Structure 1
Amino acid sequence: MNKFIMILLCIFLPPVAVFLDKGIGKDFIINLVLTIFFFVPGSIHALWLTVR
């Protein structure tokens, strides 16, 4: 069930999902920039980090 919630967060709030999974670091900064400029790549990056 936890993975399901993380996948939903990745789709709707990608930076929050990356923060909860990895904390504040380079992955969070990359995802934040991707989400600000282009929402879909931010979601894909968050999904990739969470499922990996």
Structure 2
Amino acid sequence: MGAASAILVVLITLLFPPAGVFCVAGCGADVLINICLTLLGYIPGHIHAFYLEYVYYERRERALEGQYAAHRAPGVYSERVQTGGGQQTYGTIAPPQVRH
């Protein structure tokens, strides 16, 4: 289901970038920034949207493998995107990595 949802979000983003950002980040600062960038020009809105989607899906895949990012992605304000849609962390402490 992960690949199908990613393809659907990319198709939505091609038509209207803020809708794609809303799908991965929810309603927040990232959507507002993307709306402003889209109003300034269609291309900046796409670049921002695809960057957020890349960070979201990349961190989601790593979280499924048990790896968590030690630092925040620059320019991303949504905790949902920062954590890949998984467990939300507060502060700068990353969840411990379990090694088997």
TM above 0.5: yes
Deviates more, 1:27-36 or 1:6-15: 6-15
Rg comparison, structure with higher value: 2
What is the number of equivalent residue pairs in this alignment? 52
What SS does the aligned partner of 1:28 have?
A: helix
| Runs of 4+ with deviation above 3 angstroms | none
TM-score by length of 1: 0.89
List alignment gaps of at least 5 residues for structure 1.
Answer: none
RMSD: 0.9
What SS does the aligned partner of 2:50 have?
A: helix
TM-score by length of 2: 0.49
Q: Between Structure 1 and Structure 2, which shows a larger proportion of helix residues?
A: 1
Q: Does 1:26 find its partner at 2:36? A: no
Q: Percent identity?
A: 35
Match runs of 1:1-52 below 5 Å: 1-52=4-55
